[in-house]
Every structure is written in C-alpha cells, then in structure tokens.
Structure 1
C-alpha cells in the first residue's frame, strides 16, 4: 500500500513544474562553487582547488542553502496540492487516513531527496570536467558520491519537522520554506563543537565525516554520537507530528458533508 502511494506521488511529480524548479536549484551549488572561486580575492581562494575541493564546496552550498529550501518547497507543495486541488475530501472517505497519506508523501520526498543528491553529484562532476578542474580519481568519485547521497538524506531528515508542521493547514508551506532557509543559513555561524554536533543541519555532515574546517574555520570534528541523536530526535518528532496531524477544518467539513450525503434520501437536503 505504501509503495503504491509513493509510486503515485512520483507519477504526480512528473506532471508538475515544481520538479523543474528543484532540478534547476540543485544545479546551482556546483556552479556557485566555480563562480565563487573565480571572483573571490586571492586571500579568499581555496588553495589547490581540485575535484575534491569542488565536491566539498558543492556539498556545503547544498546543505546550508539549497537542499533545505528545495526539499521543504517540494515536500510542502506535494501536501498543499491536496488542499488546493480539492482532492483531500475525495481521499479521506476511502480507507486511507490523513496520517498514512502524509507518511506516504514524506517517504516519497525522502526518496526524491536522495535522487536529487545523485543529480547534484552528476552536475558537479560535469561542471568540474568542463571547467578543467584537476584531481579526478576513483577515490574522489566514490567519496563525493557517498557523502552527497548521505548528506542529502540527512538534510532531508533535518527539515522533516518543518514539512510536517506546514502540512497542517493549506497555504502555509511557503512559511516553512522561509523557516528552512533560515535553518540552513544559520548553520554557517555555529562554531561550538557541541552545538555543531546537535544542530540537525550540521549533524549529517558529522555523520558522513565531512570536513567543515575550510568553511567554518574549525579544526575539532563534531561528536558522532550527539549528531546521530539529533537526527534521531528529528525522526521521532516528525512521527509524532504526523500522528497528531489532522486535515484542516475545511477538509474535515467536506468529508463530513460527503459522508452525510450517503445517508440522505432522494430529494432530501443536508443541513
């Protein structure tokens, strides 16, 4: 049942322009990395900017700017469509609870987040090749792929509660996008090792062994145990939010009216 719901969400995505926005957005981290290296002053440039540095820069841009925004935007949009297209009232009377519907959409978005990670990895590789960046080898390719996929998933887990909260009412998912942007952007200014370990956006970097020293001027690595705990809390919090979630009042009324109409005699009007 859940696999069928996930497949259905992907079928819907193929017809939505929001997917194109995601693809364009996930191509920017690598381009921004090359552009920044080209225009920054000599003091600010990364020495020996090779493929390893390019992958690291692309991952950092993804985690702190693009992934939180894009994942929250598309995830919130998928849920909000059920309200705006007035399809929620047709789904709820059948044996699919609102909570189960949300779980299906969040799982679909989780799968999409990993695919976006692979897409961003591919774009980074292509941009690096066209830019003539040196230092490409099997080790760099494998490490870059593993970190990009893992960090994509962990970044999605970090913003899951925001998506879950923004699903409670129609039209508020854009507020969630703003919150996700601030959530990711604020990560750049967290220097304390304990805070870095506990801050969900940065926790995935610690779990994947990503070196933040170049970007945060820190030398002490994050605490792996604290980072895993932080991501686990995000998952548990999301599960609680989904279990306690109910459709908006308007959708509930539509469901009640449709159910009541099944018991009316011909010619009888509902109140």
Structure 2
C-alpha cells in the first residue's frame, strides 16, 4: 500500500491538476477579504479581525471549494488509469483494482490535509498583507486545528462520490458537479438535526465551528449524530470499493490475451 501511495504522489508531480487545486485553495481567503470589502455596512462583519478572516475562509472552504477540489483531484487520478489505458495492466500483476483504488483514496486523503495546511498558510499571508488586526498565537493554533479538521471531514463526506466515479471512465466531472451542489446546498440547511446528519456540515459540528454568523443560528449541532453521519459515509465508501468492478479494463485484458499481445522484459509475445 505504501508503494502505491508513493507512486501516486510521484504521478502528481507531472499533473497540472495539483496546480489547479492550489489555485482553488488560494481563493477562499482572498474571497473572504473581498466580500468584506465590497459588502454594505449593514452586511459587513463588525470588528473584522484574524479570527473572522479564518472563520470566513473555513466557511468558504467547507461549502464550496474543498468538496469540489477534493472530488476533482480524486476523480482525475482514478480516471487517468482509463485515459492512459493502464488499468488493464492491473490484471497482469498481483494488485487488485480495489487495492489500487484504496491507495488512490488514501493519497487524496493525505493531500486534503496538505491542502488544509496550505489554505491556513495562504490565509495568514493574506491577513498580514491586508493589515487585518487581531493576530495572536491562540487564534492561529485554533484556526489551524479547525482547518485541518474540516479538510479531513469534508474529504470523508465526498468519498462515496469519488469512489463511485471510479466505476466508469469519464464520469468524474459529474461527481464534481454533484459535490458542488451538495456543498452549496448546505448553506440553506437550518435545522439542527439535519445539519448534524448532513455529511458536509457534520464536520463543522465536530470541529465546534460557530455557525451563527453564516446560518443565522447559534444552536450547536449534535456531535454524536455528526460522527455517526461520517461513519456511515465511510461504511458506504467501503462497500463501493468492494463492489468496484471496472468491466472496461477486463474487456481490454481479454482482447489483448486473444490477440496474444503481451510485453515482458521488452519482448513481444
């Protein structure tokens, strides 16, 4: 498994999708400052400081950017096996598709944490450059833990979409659209029970994020229901991985065997 994860990170160096992800994770902090600047005096957050900047960035990440970026990168890595016509080779070596898929999902999970740290760093830089006051170590530590936590929770919430996108080539962009809709729709869920059960919002409850400014409700979500929601998502993902069966690759392998085309040690048979 470690070998698969290492290989996936080596592949990422050659893909422009990583740069797209970094650009996407830069936007939440910039959008936070821009929104505060152009908003009417009534809509502006009073006493906008570093804490408010990080809260805005975290909210933008959770509802828009992270679900889309994580699904995009995860789906892209899996889809490359189809577009590069390499998936059929899995059946000639002792690695199952399920094991490969799990390795890719773990890779994107690690990458999601790194993106969370990247978002934290970019937000810090944006806050310093724009002269926002209220800088303190306590706020930085709290914000770092919350952003890393929400990165993990948000990634878990979109895992079934990424895993399901592996079943057929070229459908991962549909998964990206679904993730965007699920993330954007979460902003309109006010009921505390629904907020606790809705996977993308479950992370906010787990990291104890105050949603009063963004959802007009100060009632905290149910921590147990939020944990249960993400646990169900992980269970669903595991079932999707187990049942994954890329028939497209199998057909190609059978075709190659029929034609007698195999490469071994640089020789053709």
- Shorter chain as normaliser: what TM range? over 0.9
Aligned to 2:218, what secondary structure does the other structure show?
coil
Q: Indicate the residue corresponding to 1:228 in structure 2.
A: 227
How many angstroms does 1:98 deviate by? 0.6
How many angstroms does 1:27 deviate by? 0.2
Q: Indicate the residue corresponding to 2:52 in structure 1.
A: 53
Which 4+ stretches in 1 moved above 6 angstroms? none
So what's the TM-score if we normalise by structure 1? 0.95
Offset from partner CA, 1:169-209 (integer Å, 9 cap, x none): 00000000000000100000000000000000000110011
Q: Indicate the residue corresponding to 1:172 in structure 2.
A: 171
Q: Please list every run of 5 or more consecutive structure 2 residues that lacks an aligned counterpart in the other structure.
A: 263-269
Q: Indicate the residue corresponding to 1:254 in structure 2.
A: 252
Instruction: Return the alpha-carbon distance in structure 2 between the equivalents of residues 7 and 86 of structure 1.
Output: 21
How many angstroms does 1:22 deviate by? 0.2
Offset from partner CA, 1:109-145 (integer Å, 9 cap, x none): 0000000000000000000000001111110000010
Matched-pair contact (CA < 8 Å) for 2:164–2:240? yes
Instruction: Return the alpha-carbon distance in structure 2 between the equivalents of residues 53 and 42 of structure 1.
Output: 16
How many angstroms does 1:250 deviate by? 2.6
The answer on 1:32 being equivalent to 2:31 is yes
The answer on 1:68 being equivalent to 2:67 is yes
Instruction: Return the alpha-carbon distance in structure 1 between the equivalents of residues 4 and 195 of structure 2.
Output: 36
How many angstroms does 1:90 deviate by? 1.4
Matched-pair contact (CA < 8 Å) for 1:155–1:201? yes
Q: Indicate the residue corresponding to 1:269 in structure 2.
A: none
Instruction: Return the alpha-carbon distance in structure 2 between the equivalents of residues 221 and 48 of structure 1.
Output: 23
Q: Indicate the residue corresponding to 1:135 in structure 2.
A: 134
Matched-pair contact (CA < 8 Å) for 1:166–1:176? yes
Q: Indicate the residue corresponding to 2:160 in structure 1.
A: 161
Instruction: Return the alpha-carbon distance in structure 2 between the equivalents of residues 259 and 199 of structure 1.
Output: 47
Matched-pair contact (CA < 8 Å) for 2:168–2:248? no
So what's the TM-score if we normalise by structure 2? 0.95
Instruction: Return the alpha-carbon distance in structure 1 between the equivalents of residues 20 and 69 of structure 2.
Output: 8
Instruction: Return the alpha-carbon distance in structure 1 between the equivalents of residues 47 and 179 of structure 2.
Output: 33
Aligned to 1:26, what secondary structure does the other structure show?
helix
